[in-house]
Amino acid sequence: MLALSNNRMLPGFTGGKFLWLSEHEPAVTARLRRFLNPKDFLRLRMTGVHATDVSDASGTGLFDVRRRRWSPPLLAAVGLDEAQAPPVFESHEIAGRLSPEVAARWGLPAGTPVVAGGGDSVMQTTSMGVVEAGSVGTTIGAAGIVGGAARVCPENSGGRLQISCGNAPDR
């Protein structure tokens, strides 16, 4: 699995959760049409668009971070196919537009662009200014994270790191 994603499958990743759900609630997984992360579900409600971004997809255990796309063999290993994975956008790309209903409720123009966004730890690393190769930052809170930036996807021999796609296409 490490060779396919450049990350170990951690228990908290979507892939591991889906395996547990398949084993314990097979009727639920049999009805699954598409999976989404929480922020992506909010976007779905705002725009009607199923989508995710590369940084959040990196934390599913089902994403090839080197190629910035879903890994069909990893999806298949947990009983999913590519049609059940949401389309993937770069963080800055427009992934949908605000629906007329939501726009009216919020007092915003219908069609307001909604970007793909990013995963929480990658976004907080970016917000700390950890964007240039060689920069490092630490977050201590509910989880402790030491994050760094690179211009290329680093090798992850032994799976000792969690490698995520950054919020810029070249990071």
Residue numbers annotated as active site: 120
Kindly write down the DSSP assignment for every residue of 24-65, as one continuous string: H-HHHHHT------HHHHHHHHHHS---EEHHHHHTTS-EET
Cα–Cα separations (whole angstroms), residue 109 to 19, 105, 112, 121 = 41, 10, 6, 31
- Relative to beta strand 63-64, strand 69-70 is antiparallel
Under 8 Å between Cβ of 113 and 94: yes
Closest to 139 in 3D by CA, of 156, 162, 122: 122
> Which residue type is seen at 102?
V
Under 8 Å between Cβ of 1 and 74: yes
List the beta bridge partners of residue 96: 114
